[in-house]
């Protein structure tokens, strides 16, 4: 077992923690952080597993860079939506609240 | 109760995942891509393999990835407050911050430029440089500089789209000459990649900064279909 | 020639996204009409070119797989490219008239629309697992942006829910890609397929494929992971709902189907295939049942999408461990189901939008008396419903007929029960709308007639889905176009 494989196992663990957060947490920011954890876990697996098999491999490193940018874009979009949602309803979760936004969800 | 259920599910998932990683690590099959990359490096126009993969071998990924960033920015500015970006809460009159800014801003611009240049031979490149540049912008913003170009008008939209547009033009120009889409003409790879990277840096910084600045939201809303305004 | 067509097909939507970002809604509208003509032209010309020669791999940047990214221009991809050209143009034309050009945020509709189109084409043509991921995210983010555009709290909640579900789905898919790369050392689907054939018994890769398919099922809203779909599709502007239901959910399904058809024979298991089929069957029943209960018009249509997506997942059991002929039947049935559902559902959502515009309400019960005004849109809605009910000669009928034959020929008779029950249930929810609109004693005396063009577009789509069964043969011949390696 190489040290790279250790990264892959750690990535599997981090991904699972993120998945737990995504399923269990209700606060939108926590869900978003959980999504980012899932992303980091995935990137660890991607690089770790590839380096275990190939040694230093530029392809997964480039993929991770692309993946990070995509994750940043998704995170930023989610933050903008969450902020506007909070601005309009005062809520931080997706549970329908008591405000005037009922009736068409 | 719910916690226990989710925990059990996640534990099962984690074990399956670790098992899968173990299985795969034990019996890899197929060729090795790094050698193929190393063989093609001479034709790539850059010396750093990651940059070569990003901007030459798999440039289609990068093109679409910049598209994803632009989409996020579009969604961001579609919610921006139109008349003014001035957020009094963000204004600070901390003289220490102002003094530091005077020193840091040129330094950070220099770092961004270096990161962009370094991308050809070592880790670095457009995204890293753009991120540093956007950080500079955030610092300026927090220091209370107005930065009117960030208002959601034509100038900002041009800035957001510039890097993507340049990339796309380079991609299509060689296709018009009968080559494949995204192929660089013979011997032109190095200057074209540098050109793309410069404009990408600017646009990436613009996207990230506009997402930071556009965050103040307006109250205008469109009622759901079938509701009266 | 071929090279120019491919470049045009990839370039047009991206270029139009950039240009329409710089202009206002009205200018963007006529620019987009020009773009649609170009894009439809490129798609059709590519079809002719492929029919004359044969399908091919298109190496982007001149770098062949596994080093570079290759696009797989085959019959199946072309079928979907053509379908997208037809449906997206219809939705775009409708949106240009339907959306309020004076709202400041509507100018962002066009760039998001074109990015969405670019993402869809990237997925149909993609043959590289990571590139498919980027294409999926391009679709997801622009779709979420479209749902949220100018929306109120309800729309934001729906789009956030959609975004979070879609992100989990794509992350699960990406993790699967990471595992696959660790297994095969390549990202090209064709390369993986060869290796999987050469080395049977790779259990790890089988699990990775199951993980990817789970993520994609979440993005396709397969029962029981469908919770995010009805709010998002129900609350978006009607042209956006039409795009989402007709095309966007098909993208993730398409990837799952591609994976299954390429890798399934070696990495799939009977359990996985049957599980996908059972969940699809439950989606048909549960989605249709909930569609019968919804008080709001667009929610009925949205739940009907959940049900119709269920049929698609019968592809998995019907192509696993069966003869080549049965597998062909199932694939043809799936393709026809995608096409007929895309046309019918786009027609339904656009017609529903017109009805809402006319009556000023989204509730089914407020349709009372609408039939007296003889709205054209109600008729289009009904025609599209006929296709969903799968009565002959509609495309829905042809699709289910093929699926029925495939299930009988493979000895999996239990799927036929689902096909029959689903048809009956969809009749129930379509007739429910009709019953409401024919209520005589209503107070409705004001009725707004939408512009003629708004009414013509759903009618055309509905007629297309209706006549699809008559032209099923030539349509399926696109899918069966020959594919030559290289080229």
* Confidence label for A105 from pLDDT (cuts 50, 70 and 90): very low
pLDDT at residue number C153: 84
Residue B83 has pLDDT above 50, yes or no: no
Nearest one of C105, C357, C117, C148 to C235, comparing CA atoms: C148
What's the whole-number average pLDDT of chain B?
83
Which residues of chain A are within 8 Å of residue C179 when distances are taken between CB atoms? 45, 49
Give every CB contact of residue C481 below 8 A, 6+ residues apart in sequence. Answer: C50, C51, C54, C55, C74, C75, C78
Q: Which residues of chain A are within 8 Å of residue B66 when distances are taken between CB atoms?
A: 69
Q: C390-403 burial string, b = 16+ CB within 10 Å, else e?
A: beeebbbbbbbbbb
B55 to chain C: nearest residue by CA?
C61
B vs C, Cβ pairs < 8 A, gives 222
- How many whole angstroms separate alpha carbon B190 and alpha carbon C67? 19
Question: What span, in angstroms and rounded, lies between the C-alpha atoms of B187 and B192?
Answer: 10
CB within 8 Å of chain A, chain B residues 116-135: 125, 127
* Residues of A in Cβ contact (< 8 Å) with C63: none
pLDDT at C486: 44
Q: What are the structural domains, with CATH classification, of chain A?
A: 3-89 (1.10.287)
- Cβ contacts (< 8 Å) between A73 and chain C: which residues? 137, 141
Q: Is it the case that residue B31 has pLDDT exceeding 90?
A: no
Q: How many CB atoms lie within 10 A of CB C199?
A: 16
Establish if A12 touches chain B: CB-CB under 8 angstroms. Answer: yes
Residues of chain B found within 8 Å of residue A45, distances taken between Cβ atoms: 21
Angstrom CA distances, C7 to B170, B174, C3, C121, C128, stand at 12, 10, 6, 12, 18
pLDDT for C467 equals 86
Residue B118, pLDDT > 90, answer: no
For C377-405, write each residue's pLDDT tens digit.
Answer: 888 998 899 988 888 888 889 999 999 99
Query: In degrees rounded to 5, what are phi and psi of residue C50?
Result: -70, -35
Collect all residues of chain C within an 8 Å Cβ-Cβ radius of residue A74.
137, 140-141, 163, 167
- Asked if A38's CB is within 8 angstroms of C171's CB, the reply is yes
- Domain borders along chain B are 34-213
Averaged pLDDT for residues B34-51 = 86
- The sign of the dihedral angle between the CA atoms of B152, B156, B160, B165 is positive
pLDDT of residue C434: 85
Dihedral sign (CA C358, C360, C362, C366): negative
Q: What pLDDT score does A103 carry?
A: 37
Rounded-to-integer distance, Cα A100 and Cα A88, Å: 10
Contact between B25 and A53 using a beta-carbon 8 Å cutoff: yes
Region A67-88: mean pLDDT is 90
Residue B68, pLDDT score: 95
Q: Give B219's contacts in chain A (Cβ within 8 Å).
A: 87-88
Instruction: Please report which residue ranges of C360-394 form alpha helices under DSSP H.
Output: 376-389
C-alpha distance from B186 to closest chain C C-alpha (Å): 11
- pLDDT the model gives residue B219: 61
B217 strand-pairing partners: B80
Smallest Cβ distance to C122: which of B17, B64, B223?
Answer: B64
According to the model, what pLDDT value does residue C443 have? 65
Distance CA C174, CA C191 (A): 18
For an interface test with B, the pick among A18, A47, A84, A105 (most B C-beta atoms closer than 10 Å) comes out as: A84
pLDDT for residue A101? 38
Mutate to test the interface with A, among B8, B68, B121, B227 (most CBs of A within 10 A): B68
Q: How far is B202 from chain C (nearest CA, A)?
A: 16
Q: Pick from C76, C186, C129: which is nearest to C475 by CA?
A: C76
pLDDT number for residue A8: 93
For the cut 50, the answer to whether the pLDDT of residue B161 exceeds it is: yes
Q: What local confidence, expressed as pLDDT, does residue B87 receive?
A: 58
| C154, C36 Cβ separation under 8 angstroms | no
Q: Is A25 in CB contact (< 8 Å) with chain B?
A: no
Nearest to B57 among C67, C105, C203 (CB): C67
Q: Which tokens in the block code for residue C254?
A: 């398409």
**Token pair of C269 as six digits:** 């298991």
* Helices (H), ranges, C294-394: 297-312, 315-318, 324-359, 376-389
- The DSSP letter of residue B88 is G
Average pLDDT over residues B99-105: 84
B-chain residue closest to A46, CA distance: B21
For C308, counting Cβ atoms within 10 Å of its Cβ (0-12 exposed, 13-18 middle, 19+ buried), the class is buried
Q: Is C171 on the interface with A (CB under 8 A)?
A: yes
Write the ipTM. Answer: 0.92
Q: How confident is the model at residue A104 (pLDDT cuts 50, 70, 90)?
A: very low
Does A54 sit within 8 Å of B9, measured CB to CB?
A: no
Tell me whether residue A105 is exposed, middle or buried, using C-beta atoms within 10 angstroms of its C-beta: 0 to 12, 13 to 18, 19 or more: middle
For every residue of A9-56, DSSP letters joined together read HHHHHHHHHHHHHHHH--SHHHHHHHHHHHHHHHHHHHHHHHHHHHSS
Mutate which: B25, B34, B74, vs C, most C CBs within 10 A: B74
Q: Please state which of the ranges B63-77, B141-155, C82-96, C190-204 shows the lowest mean pLDDT.
A: B141-155
Distances (CA, A) of C55 to C47, C77, C118, C478, C482: 9, 10, 20, 11, 6
pLDDT value, residue C444:
61
Least confident residue range of A24-33, B1-10, B69-78, C369-378: C369-378
pLDDT of residue C361: 82
The pLDDT value recorded for residue C482 is 83
- Distance from the Cα of C44 to chain A's closest Cα (Å) equals 32
Low-confidence ranges of chain C (pLDDT < 70): 374, 440-446, 485-487
């Amino acid at each position: 077992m190489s040290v790279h494989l250790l990264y892959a196992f750690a990535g599997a663990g981090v991904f699972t923690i993120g998945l737990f957060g995504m399923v269990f947490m209700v606060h939108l920011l926590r869900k978003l952080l959980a999504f980012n954890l899932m992303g980091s876990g995935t990137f660890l697996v991607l690089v770790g597993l590839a380096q275990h098999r190939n040694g230093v491999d530029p392809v997964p490193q480039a993929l991770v860079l692309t993946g990070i940018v995509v994750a940043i874009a998704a995170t930023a979009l989610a933050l903008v939506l969450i902020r506007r949602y909070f601005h309009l309803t005062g809520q931080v979760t997706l549970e329908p609240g008591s405000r005037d936004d009922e009736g068409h969800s | 109760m719910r916690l226990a259920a989710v925990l059990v599910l996640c534990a099962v998932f984690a074990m399956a995942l670790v098992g899968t990683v173990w299985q795969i690590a034990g019996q890899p099959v197929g060729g090795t891509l790094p050698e193929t990359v190393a063989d093609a490096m001479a034709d790539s126009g850059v010396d750093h393999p990651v940059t070569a993969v990003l901007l030459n071998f798999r440039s289609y990924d990068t093109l679409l990835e910049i598209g994803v960033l632009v989409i996020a920015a579009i969604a961001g500015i579609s919610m921006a407050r139109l008349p003014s970006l001035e957020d009094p809460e963000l204004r600070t009159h901390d003289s220490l911050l102002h003094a530091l800014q005077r020193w840091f801003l040129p330094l950070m611009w220099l770092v961004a430029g270096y990161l962009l240049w370094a991308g050809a031979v070592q880790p670095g490149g457009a995204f890293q440089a753009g991120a540093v540049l956007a950080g500079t912008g955030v610092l300026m913003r927090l220091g209370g500089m107005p930065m009117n170009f960030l208002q959601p008008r034509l100038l900002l939209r041009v800035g957001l789209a510039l890097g993507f547009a340049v990339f796309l033009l380079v991609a299509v120009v060689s296709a018009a000459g009968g080559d494949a889409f995204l192929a660089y003409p013979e011997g032109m790879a190095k200057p074209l990649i540098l050109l793309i990277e410069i404009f990408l840096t600017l646009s990436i910084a613009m996207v990230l900064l506009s997402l930071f600045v556009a965050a103040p939201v307006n109250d205008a809303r469109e009622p759901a279909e079938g509701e009266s305004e | 020639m071929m090279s120019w067509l491919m470049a045009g097909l990839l370039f047009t939507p991206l270029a139009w996204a950039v240009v329409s970002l710089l202009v206002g809604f009205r200018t963007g509208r006529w620019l987009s009409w020009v773009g649609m003509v170009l894009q439809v032209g490129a798609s059709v010309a590519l079809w002719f070119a492929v029919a004359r020669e044969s399908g091919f791999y298109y190496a982007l940047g001149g770098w062949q797989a596994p080093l570079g990214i290759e696009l797989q221009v085959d019959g199946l991809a072309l079928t979907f490219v053509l379908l997208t050209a037809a449906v997206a143009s219809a939705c775009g034309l409708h949106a240009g008239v339907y959306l309020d050009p004076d709202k400041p945020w509507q100018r962002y509709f066009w760039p998001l629309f074109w990015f969405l189109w670019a993402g869809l084409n990237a997925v149909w043509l993609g043959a590289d697992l990571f590139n498919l991921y980027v294409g999926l995210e391009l679709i997801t983010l622009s779709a979420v942006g479209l749902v949220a555009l100018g929306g109120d709290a309800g729309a934001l909640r729906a789009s956030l829910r959609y975004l979070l579900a879609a992100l989990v789905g794509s992350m699960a898919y990406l993790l699967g890609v990471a595992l696959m790369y660790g297994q095969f050392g390549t990202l090209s689907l064709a390369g993986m397929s060869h290796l999987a054939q050469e080395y049977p018994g790779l259990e790890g890769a089988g699990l990775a494929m199951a993980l990817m398919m789970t993520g994609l099922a979440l993005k396709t809203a397969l029962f029981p992971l469908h919770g995010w779909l009805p709010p998002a599709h129900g609350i978006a502007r009607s042209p956006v709902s039409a795009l989402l239901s007709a095309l966007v959910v098909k993208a993730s399904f398409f990837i799952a189907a591609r994976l299954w058809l390429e890798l399934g024979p070696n990495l799939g298991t009977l359990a996985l295939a049957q599980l996908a089929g059972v969940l699809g069957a439950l989606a048909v029943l549960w989605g249709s049942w909930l569609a019968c209960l919804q008080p709001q018009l667009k929610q009925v249509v949205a739940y009907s999408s959940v049900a119709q997506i269920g049929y698609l997942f019968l592809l998995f059991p019907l192509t696993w461990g069966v003869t080549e002929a049965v597998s062909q039947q199932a694939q043809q049935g799936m393709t026809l189901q995608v096409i007929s559902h895309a046309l019918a559902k786009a027609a339904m959502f656009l017609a529903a939008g017109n009805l809402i515009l006319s009556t000023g309400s989204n509730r089914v019960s407020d349709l009372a008396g609408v039939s007296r005004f003889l709205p054209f849109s109600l008729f289009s809605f009904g025609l599209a419903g006929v296709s969903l009910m799968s009565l002959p000669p509609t495309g829905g009928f042809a699709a289910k007929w093929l699926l029925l034959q495939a299930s009988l020929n493979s000895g999996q008779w239990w799927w036929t029960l689902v096909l029959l029950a689903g048809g009956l249930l969809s009749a129930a929810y379509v007739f429910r709308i009709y019953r409401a609109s024919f209520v005589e004693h209503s107070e409705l005396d004001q009725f707004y007639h939408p512009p003629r063009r708004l009414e013509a577009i759903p009618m055309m789509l509905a007629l297309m889905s209706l006549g699809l069964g008559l032209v099923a043969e030539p349509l399926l011949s696109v899918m069966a176009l020959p594919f030559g390696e290289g080229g």
